[in-house]
Amino acid sequence: MAEPNILLTRIDNRLIHGQIATQWTSTLGANLLLVANDEVAGNKMRQNLMNMAAPAGVDTRYFSIQKTIDVIHKAAPRQLIFIIVESPADALRLVKGGVPIKKLNVGNMHMSEGKRQVATTVAVDDADVAAFRELKDLGVELQIQRVPSIPAEDPEKLFR
């Protein structure tokens, strides 16, 4: 069976929002935004808000992590998929579930209690670092980059 065309997977705790979604989608040439998130999968209001922020002419799907694992291999070759997750833990669940993620873009991980700022828009705690380490060990290329127009930061920052 052909691999699904996953162009990029991005961690962004706001998921689909404004300019960022538009910039990444057009840079990648994606025609499908797949939000893999257990909470949003069951929340029509959040889906509607994200649909308003999604770029025109691009399909959106809101699946739980498990459903993403279950259906990703049924994707059609014409679907050029940009997956967005909320956390490294969710990305790791996808990878362990057999979703062929080669590259993980670390976009926005907000500062909150118990986290430390390691890059411009990235704050992590020990659990995040452990998930990133495991993703790296599984062969996933990590990239810290908020928007396509600015240079990527050193992914080693995630482990400091």
Write out the catalytic residue numbers.
17
Whole-angstrom Cα distance, residue 63 to residue 39?
9
Whole-angstrom Cα distance, residue 91 to residue 65?
9
Phi, psi dihedral angles at 79 (to 5 degrees): -85, 115
